[in-house]
């Protein structure tokens, strides 16, 4: 077996890039002795809200919890229908069900691989309460069309921005456009912790307050629970580490985008479909995802050349055994096509220029060596 010299993701590199500062921050928390909901979480919530451009951020235990709690805080509950895509992390679907709601799936747009705004009308019914657009791979979904529709239909929009820290539409960051945004700090995400973590962003004060109650047993300031809650808190150690990394996030995004631009220049004309940035948007390039019907071949050839790849995601929600039988959905022809072709190349800010060129050479050589198959 060849060793993978350049893995598709490598979160340890982001630790090494700031190891001294991170160690100091963690030690500070350990010595202080307050480990849950203390000053690190409070400060991080303020700093992250400022970075996204919302009035509030609420730290929770994961991106999945952020979505579920944001939906509940936005008034979505038992029996309500929530429209989203099948081409996403299973987490999106799990979160909608955790909120007590019923996911209804629609197809994606071929170019952006995000929710097809035109598909939504056909599945809206009397129980539809919300839409969860997923800014998949860091590409912002078509929020303009969605916001217009949401206004005219009285629906709420909760953004799944778990892959899109720093994505923008006409200068506004995603997570600040819908009534709330949900972020994940899973280690490989654009802003990654060293374990699980998540946050809800919103300009709505009562939504943020409801999220704060829901994340801790439903308690209000007097420790009285008028709603049933859960236990989902961002912890002090993760918040302290995130506070070290947040000031570097803008530079990290610039680097992600520079690598993506270099890939897109160098990989043109090979017969594989490259990601494009939709007009008026700033792609956050959490992942650089190419498409080819010869995916298995390309992945094998790249592995032989020491370049790691991954598939996000090989099985769409409507194909997952636990969900397949009960999920309602419209036509998903584009989703089925996308799911069979997507392949993620290595992309993280710590990749150096020489590694980027090695990935490019490996992709070109892999496509050539399999050129018969690619035709
Ligand atoms: C990572 C992710 C989630 C879930 O986040 P966790 O922190 O792993 O719970 C939800 N949606 C999308 C699109 C994701 O990529």
Which residues are paired to 291 by β-bridges?
Answer: 273, 342
pLDDT at 1 over 80: no
State percent of the chain over pLDDT 70: 98
Whether 269 contacts 47, CB under 8 Å: no
- The dihedral through the CA atoms of 139, 142, 143, 149 has a sign that is negative
State percent of the chain over pLDDT 90: 93
Whose C-alpha lies nearest to ligand 1, atom 2?
162
Angle, helices 353-369/295-304, rounded to nearest 10 degrees: 130
Quick: pLDDT tens for 100-152: 999 999 999 999 999 988 899 999 999 999 999 999 999 999 999 999 999 99
Same fold, 12-107+116-247 and 248-373: no
pLDDT at 373 over 90: no
Whose C-alpha lies nearest to ligand 1, atom 14?
162
pLDDT, mean of residues 87-109: 97
Q: What's the pLDDT at 64?
A: 98
Of 199, 286, 191, which is closest to residue 245 (Cα–Cα)? 191
The hierarchical CATH code for the domain 248-373 is: 3.90.1150.10
If you average pLDDT over every residue of the chain, what do you get? 96
Whether 322 contacts 108, CB under 8 Å: no
- Distance from the CA of 39 to the center of ligand 1, in angstroms? 25
Which residues are paired to 58 by β-bridges?
Answer: 200
Position 227 confidence tier, pLDDT thresholds 50, 70, 90 = very high
Residue 169 C-beta-side C-alpha neighbours within 13 Å: 20
pLDDT, mean of residues 162-186: 98
Of 357, 347, 372, which is closest to residue 290 (Cα–Cα)? 347
pLDDT, mean of residues 168-191: 98
Whose C-alpha lies nearest to ligand 1, atom 6?
63
Ligand 1 pocket at CB < 6 A: 62-64, 88-89, 91-92, 134, 160, 162-163, 184, 186, 196, 198
4 versus 133: which is more confidently predicted?
A: 133
Position 325 confidence tier, pLDDT thresholds 50, 70, 90 = confident
pLDDT, mean of residues 204-232: 96
Pocket test for ligand 1, best of 65, 158, 160 (most atoms within 8 A of CB): 160
Quick: pLDDT tens for 263-289: 999 999 999 999 999 999 999 999 999
Largest Cα span, the chain = 69
* Domain parsing of the chain, residue ranges: 12-107+116-247, 248-373
363 contact partners, CB below 8 Å, separation of at least 6: 267, 270, 272, 290, 298, 302, 307, 345
Q: What's the pLDDT at 357?
A: 98
Q: Please determine, looking at this structure, whether the domain spanning 12-107+116-247 carries the CATH number 3.40.640.10.
A: yes
Chain centroid to Cα 277, Å, comes to 16
Q: What's the pLDDT at 117?
A: 87
pLDDT, mean of residues 315-344: 94
Nearest atom (ligand 1) to Cα of 163: 15
pLDDT, mean of residues 326-345: 94
Is the peptide bond preceding residue 246 cis, with omega within 30 degrees of 0?
no
Of 233, 193, 302, 251, which is closest to residue 59 (Cα–Cα)? 233
128 contact partners, CB below 8 Å, separation of at least 6: 80, 81, 82, 83, 104, 153, 155
């Amino acid at each position: 077996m060849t060793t993978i010299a350049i893995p598709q993701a490598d979160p340890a590199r982001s630790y090494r890039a700031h190891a001294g500062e991170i160690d100091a921050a963690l030690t500070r928390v350990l010595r202080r002795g307050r480990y849950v909901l203390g000053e690190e979480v409070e400060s991080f919530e303020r700093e992250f809200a400022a970075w996204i451009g919302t009035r509030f951020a609420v730290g929770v235990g994961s991106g999945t919890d952020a979505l579920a709690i944001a939906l509940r805080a936005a008034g979505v509950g038992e029996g309500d229908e929530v429209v989203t895509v099948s081409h996403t992390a299973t987490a999106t679907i799990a979160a909608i069900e955790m909120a007590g709601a019923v996911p209804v799936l629609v197809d994606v747009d071929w170019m952006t691989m995000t929710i097809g705004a035109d598909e939504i009308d056909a599945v809206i019914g009397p129980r539809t309460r919300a839409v969860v657009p997923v800014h998949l791979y860091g590409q912002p979904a078509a929020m303009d069309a969605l916001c217009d529709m949401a206004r005219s239909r009285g629906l709420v929009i909760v953004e799944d921005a778990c892959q899109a820290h720093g994505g923008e539409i006409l200068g506004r960051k995603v997570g600040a456009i819908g009534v709330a945004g949900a972020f994940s700090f899973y280690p490989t995400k654009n802003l990654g912790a060293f374990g699980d973590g998540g946050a809800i962003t919103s300009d709505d004060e009562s939504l943020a307050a409801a999220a704060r109650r829901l994340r801790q047993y439903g308690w209000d300031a007097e420790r009285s629970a008028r709603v049933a809650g859960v236990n989902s808190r961002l912890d002090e150690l993760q918040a302290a580490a995130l506070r070290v990394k947040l000031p570097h996030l803008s530079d990290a995004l610039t680097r992600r985008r520079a690598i993506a631009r270099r890939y897109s220049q160098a990989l043109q004309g090979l017969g594989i479909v490259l990601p494009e940035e939709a007009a008026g948007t700033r792609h956050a390039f959490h992942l650089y995802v190419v498409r080819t019907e010869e995916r298995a071949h390309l992945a094998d050839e790249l592995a032989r050349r020491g370049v790691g790849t991954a598939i996000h995601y090989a099985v769409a929600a409507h194909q997952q055994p636990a969900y397949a039988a009960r999920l309602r959905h419209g036509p998903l022809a584009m989703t089925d096509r996308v799911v069979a072709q997507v392949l993620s190349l290595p992309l993280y800010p710590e990749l150096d220029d020489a590694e980027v060129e090695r990935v490019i050479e490996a992709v070109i050589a892999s496509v050539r060596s399999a050129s018969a198959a690619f035709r």
